[in-house]
Structure formats: C-alpha cells, structure tokens
Amino acid sequence: MDAARNSAEVTTTYRIDLCPGDDFYVCDQLQSWQSTGINGQGGKENVLLGSLNSSTIAPGDFTLRLSVTSTHTASGRRQTINDFHTVIKDQDHDGIIDDGDNCTLAANPDQRDTDGDGFGNACDADLDNDGKVTLSDFRLLLLVMYNAAPGIEPHVLADHVDFNNNALVDFADFYVFRRSFAAPPGPSCCAVALP
C-alpha cells in the first residue's frame, strides 16, 4: 500500500475559510481570512466537505480558501496546499452581479426600470411608489389589464405594470403582483430613497 494513502502514517485535515473581495493575495497580506466553520479530518476523495449558506455573507464578491494539510505521523513533517475560488454573488442567476442588480432576487437580465426608482420592473409592483405594494397599486394594475405595453419613452402606466417585459399586461404580471402584495419593492442594489 502507498504510504501516502495509509491513514496510520499520514493524517489529513482540511478547512475552508473566506475573505471579502476577489483577491486572495490581498487576503493573505491583510490576514483577513474568516472561518466558515467547515473543517474536518480525513483523506477520502470525492466527498462533500460541507455546505456554506451564502445568504449570511455580506453582499459582494468573496474568495474561498481550501487548505489541506497532510502530516506524516512518524516524522511530523507537514505539507499544506491551498486552493482558492472567487465567488461572485448573483442570487437570481440572471447574469447581473448583485452589487449592480436592480432586482437581486428576481431574474431580469435587461434591468428594465421604467419608473426610474432603482427597482427593476421584475420586482417593483409598487406602482404608486409609496414604499409598499397595496390595494392602490392593485387598482392601477386593473386599469391597464390586457393593455399593450409599448416600452418606449415616455413610459405609460402599462409599461410599469409589465413586470415580465412581454409588451402586454396579463395574468403573468398579476402573478408577480400577487407575490409582492403587502411587501416593499425589491430588493435592489441601487434603489433611490422613497419619500
């Protein structure tokens, strides 16, 4: 048997740390690595080391560092190998990084925001811009139900209500509205302060 694989002669430990930002060299220089709580012992291949809930991490990019240390038990010699992976947060998987996404939880690769409030149409059923989706917004939706939404400036009410950007106010838009009812618009990276 290969000595490197004999667990009586070699012990292997691992840990995963993270650092805000996308430059592992800066993280090393500033010693800004933070524990993820994912660590253990063993040298098995192709196993899940743990899972990381990225919603608990501050917005923005971060770098993960996997450190694997092997120690020869007889001699005490150690070797550590680090591998780095930059994670760019895009929670809605629309190709727009959260730090620049006007709807961080609703996919909207076109970033359409017809009322200019910083919330993309896909997550902005607050049609009267009072900070919450209410019955007054529902009344506005009903006024333009089944109307065409031309999508050209100057924007008309139907453009604002066309949440899915298919050029028509229909039941798909009503479904988006229903999901948003009694909640604020967004979330967004770049919303303007509401009155």
The architecture (CATH level 2) of 98-180 comes to: Orthogonal Bundle (1.10)
**Token representation of residue 195:** 């009155």
Where do the domains of the chain lie?
A: 3-87, 98-180
- Is residue 87 very low, low, confident or very high in pLDDT (cuts 50, 70, 90)? confident
- Is residue 71 very low, low, confident or very high in pLDDT (cuts 50, 70, 90)? very high
- Is residue 5 very low, low, confident or very high in pLDDT (cuts 50, 70, 90)? low
Report the predicted TM-score, pTM, of the whole model to 2 decimal places: 0.64
Under DSSP, is residue 100 helix (H, G, I), strand (E, B) or coil? helix
- Is residue 43 very low, low, confident or very high in pLDDT (cuts 50, 70, 90)? low
Residue 195 has pLDDT above 60, yes or no: no
Bridge partners for 14 per DSSP: 40, 68
Q: Where are the alpha helices (DSSP H) in the chain?
A: 24-30, 135-143, 157-161, 171-180
Rounded CA separation 164/120 (Å): 10
Q: What are phi and psi of 85, to 5 degrees?
A: -140, 120
The CA-CA-CA angle for residues 125, 152, 192, to 5°, reads: 45
Q: What average pLDDT does the structure give for the chain?
A: 89
